[in-house]
């Protein structure tokens, strides 16, 4: 039986109206943080959402969890349109969709014990009534913490342990989808792998769907079924993990992969071929015309400034065969790099 679609996002948009100083005047402007993205996540499936800082990943996370409201597009969860539900209508969503935040220091209330932090969501949703303490201890055990530490405060735990508390809080209400927004970026490298292993174990044991946000393709490599690469509010490449890591078609994805050293070793790329991205992501207030990546792209031609490349399969022929195989691969570049050897692998 094939898994059902849990989350479906269509043409999602979040424009923030702001005022900025131009010379001596204050003028109105719009930050196009998320500018028309579409993707879906099936039950038990993991989507990696990857891109440099400022590309719109956290904004997307906040929209999907409905901590923020979109200015365009739709979000469906379990077949229900949740795009503009009011807070009091979001009760089921608040249970089914949970978030793990980047910073395990600021996301936990320092004045509450771990017991209080973990039992609050149980009470809010009326779960495990009268047996909250047992459930909290079970949750602590599940994330590899000592159940006897139930009366301790967040400050008494290390960074990695605090992130485990954040994970336990997300799991408390038995969600269907977890959005993890760079959950290990704030941790020491030595701790990152432990937390990643814990997340992978929980995902498999509890059959959770995940959206895993990262600024680095290396982090999500072993974790994701599919990957969406974001650049300046848009998805520039989307596909099954194998396609993204072994046959990236968009120059931005290639640059991100090139920056992840462990992957380069695996792919046999010599250091001299390393692609270095120059400068920062441009401002989402006034993004470049045509292809947004063109100002940093070594392949850019005139057409790239004039026409925005749509997110499509690289060639129609590949499209039909790849789709029959169930292997999705979309990219938005006027000059994508199509690996013909991988195409030939797909039986006609």
Ligand X SMILES: Nc1ncnc2c1ncn2[C@@H]1O[C@H](COP(=O)(O)OP(=O)(O)O)[C@@H](O)[C@H]1O
Which of ligand X, Mg ion, none sits in contact with 253, Cβ below 5 to 8 A by type? Answer: none
Residue appearing with tokens 């990943």: 57
Choices 38-46, 53-61, 84-92, 241-249 (CB under 5 A): range interacting with Mg ion: 53-61
Binding mask 7-46 toward Mg ion (x if CB under 5 A, else -) reads ----------------------------------------
Tokens of 24: 């001596």
Whichever of 142 and 179 has its CB closer to Mg ion, that residue is 179
Q: Which is nearer to ligand X, 55 or 220 (CB)?
A: 55
Binding window for ligand X (CB under 6 A); candidates: 55-63, 255-263, 310-318, 321-329: 55-63
Token pair 């399969």 is at which residue? 313
Instruction: Quickly list DSSP for 107-170.
Output: TS-TTS-HHHHHHHHHHHTT-STT-HHHHHHHHHHHTT--GGGGG--GGGS-HHHHHHHHHHHH
C-beta closer to ligand X: residue 61 or 161: 61
Instruction: Determine which residue in the list 7, 37, 44, 58 makes contact with ligand X, applying CB under 6 A.
Output: 58
The packing angle between helices 132-142 and 159-171, to 10°, is 130
**Least distance to ligand X, CB of residue 228, Å:** 12
Q: How far is the CB of 336 from ligand X (least distance, A)?
A: 23
Q: Minimum distance between the CB of residue 115 and ligand X, rounded to whole angstroms? A: 32
Question: Which of ligand X, Mg ion, none has residue 243 at its interface (CB below 5 to 8 Å by kind)?
Answer: none
Give the burial class of 164: count Cβ atoms within 10 A of its Cβ; 0-12 exposed, 13-18 middle, 19 or more buried.
Answer: buried
- Cβ at position 57, least distance to ligand X in Å: 3
* Cα-trace Rg, the chain: 21
CB 177 within 8 A of CB 7: yes
Find out whether 153 and 113 touch, Cβ atoms under 8 Å: yes
Burial degree of 344 (CB within 10 A; 0-12, 13-18, 19+): exposed
Residue 54 site contact among ligand X, Mg ion, none (CB < 5 to 8 Å, cut-off depends on kind):
ligand X
Query: Which CB sits closer to Mg ion, 58 or 119?
Result: 58
Closest CA to 192 of 104, 128, 68: 104
Which one, 215 or 334, has the nearer CB to ligand X? 215
CA-to-CA distance for 323 and 116, rounded, in angstroms? 49
Could you tell which of Mg ion, ligand X, none binds residue 221, using a CB distance below 5 to 8 A set by kind?
none
Q: Which is nearer to ligand X, 53 or 289 (CB)?
A: 53
Tell me the closest approach of the beta carbon of residue 102 to ligand X, in angstroms: 9
**H or E element that contains 11:** strand 5-22
| Distance separating alpha carbons of residues 267 and 307, to the nearest angstrom | 33
Footprint (CB under 6 A) of ligand X, residues 10-49 = 16, 18, 31, 33
**Phi, psi for residue 287 in degrees, rounded to 5:** -65, 155
For residues 212 and 49, the answer to whether their CB atoms sit within 8 Å is yes
User: What is the Cα–Cα distance from 271 to 258, expressed in whole angstroms?
Assistant: 9
Residues 227-286 that bind ligand X (CB under 6 A): 284
Q: How many residues bind ligand X (CB under 6 A)?
A: 13
Binding Mg ion (rule: CB under 5 A), the pick from 45, 58, 60, 253 is 58
Map residues 149-188 to x or -, x wherever contact with ligand X holds by CB under 6 A. ----------------------------------------
What does the binding site for Mg ion look like in residue numbers (CB under 5 A)? 57-58
What does the binding site for ligand X look like in residue numbers (CB under 6 A)? 16, 18, 31, 33, 51, 53-59, 284
């Amino acid at each position: 039986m094939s898994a059902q679609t849990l989350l479906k996002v269509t043409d999602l948009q979040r424009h923030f109206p702001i005022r900025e100083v131009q010379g001596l005047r204050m003028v109105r402007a719009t930050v196009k943080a998320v500018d028309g993205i579409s993707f879906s996540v099936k039950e038990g499936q993991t989507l990696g959402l990857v891109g440099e800082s400022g590309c719109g990943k956290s904004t997307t996370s906040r929209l999907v969890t409905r901590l923020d409201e979109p200015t365009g597009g739709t979000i469906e969860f379990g077949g229900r349109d949740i795009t503009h539900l009011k807070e009091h209508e979001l009760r089921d969503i608040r249970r089914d969709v949970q978030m793990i935040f980047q910073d395990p220091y600021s996301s936990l209330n320092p004045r509450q014990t771990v017991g209080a932090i973990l039992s609050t969501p149980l009470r809010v949703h009326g779960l495990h009534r009268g047996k909250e303490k047992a459930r909290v201890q079970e949750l602590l055990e599940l994330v590899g913490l000592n159940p006897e530490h139930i009366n301790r405060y967040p400050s008494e735990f290390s960074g990695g342990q605090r992130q485990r508390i954040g994970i336990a809080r997300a799991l408390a209400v038995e969600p269907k989808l977890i959005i993890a927004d760079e959950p290990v970026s704030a941790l020491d490298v030595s701790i990152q792998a432990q937390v990643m292993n814990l997340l992978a174990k929980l995902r498999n044991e509890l059959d959770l769907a995940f959206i895993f946000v990262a600024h680095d393709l290396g982090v999500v490599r072993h974790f994701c079924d599919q990957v969406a690469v974001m650049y300046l509010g848009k998805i520039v490449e989307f596909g099954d993990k194998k396609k993204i890591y072994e046959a990236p078609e968009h120059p931005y994805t290639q640059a991100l992969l090139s920056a992840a050293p462990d992957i380069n070793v695996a792919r046999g790329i010599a250091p001299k071929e390393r692609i270095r991205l120059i400068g920062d992501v441009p401002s989402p207030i006034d993004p470049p015309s045509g292809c947004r990546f063109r100002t940093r792209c070594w392949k850019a031609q005139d057409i790239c400034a004039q026409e925005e490349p749509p997110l499509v399969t690289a060639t129609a022929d590949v499209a039909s065969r790849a789709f029959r195989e169930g292997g999705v691969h979309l990219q938005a570049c006027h000059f994508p790099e199509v690996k013909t050897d991988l195409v030939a692998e797909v039986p006609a």
